[in-house]
Amino acid sequence: MKTANFASYHIRKWYSFVEETLANETGQLADGEPVFKYAVAAVIANPYAGRYSEDLSQLIEPSPLLGEEFGRRIQALAGSRKIESYGKAILVGSAGEYEHGNAFLTNPAADPIRVALGGGKSWVPSTGKRGGPGSTIDVPLAHKDALYVRSHYDSFSITFGDGPSPDELVVIWAFATRGRLHARLGGLRAEDVKGVDGLH
């Protein structure tokens, strides 16, 4: 067993990503502020790698503390910029199960991140897969308070050059400061969000 260095987890590496988009694919300059996308990821040793267990509490129980750390890190990355969208994903090394990664995507882990963002009424879109070093994953994004805001359906494509090893997994959270540049598909506008039920 690898030595714990964060709660009961062994975290080998943290990643931070920042992307700033000034124009869309045609070269049309931003309609307002650029889109800033951020991602924070942790490479964590998987204590269940290579074995089956009905009980995944070793991953789930300390996850609120991990969520707090993700929240702290996104606040540091974004600074004064307000986050409007979020999403999450996992990459599981080949000796682990997809279910091991999903243990990190539950509400106990997500709620501290909502607190760090000043709230989040909608559920967090998520995805995941098994993979190794060099894997790319597209993290889905949606408006943090209203899933029906079409302009904020987006993704952040991220590649990890050094993880996960077979006995590791990578937990990823992604964020954006606004919707797509020149979104023009109609529907609920971000400025009209009520933020009551997570949909509208």
* pLDDT value, residue 117: 94
167 conformational bin, left if phi > 0, alpha if psi -120 to 50, beta if neither = alpha
* pLDDT value, residue 196: 81
* pLDDT value, residue 14: 98
Distance CA 102, CA 2 (A): 21
Which residue matches tokens 């067993």?
Answer: 1
**10-residue block means of pLDDT along the chain (200 residues)?**
93 98 97 98 98 96 96 96 97 98 91 93 94 96 94 96 96 98 91 83
State pTM to two decimals: 0.95
* pLDDT value, residue 190: 84
Tokens standing for 75?
A: 């606040």
**56-60: long-range pairs with CB below 8 Å, 24+:** 56/99, 56/100, 56/103, 58/8, 59/100, 59/103, 59/104, 60/103, 60/104, 60/106, 60/108, 60/109
- Domain 11-192 superfamily per CATH: BB2672 (3.30.1330.110)
Tokens standing for 158?
A: 């991220």
* pLDDT value, residue 195: 80
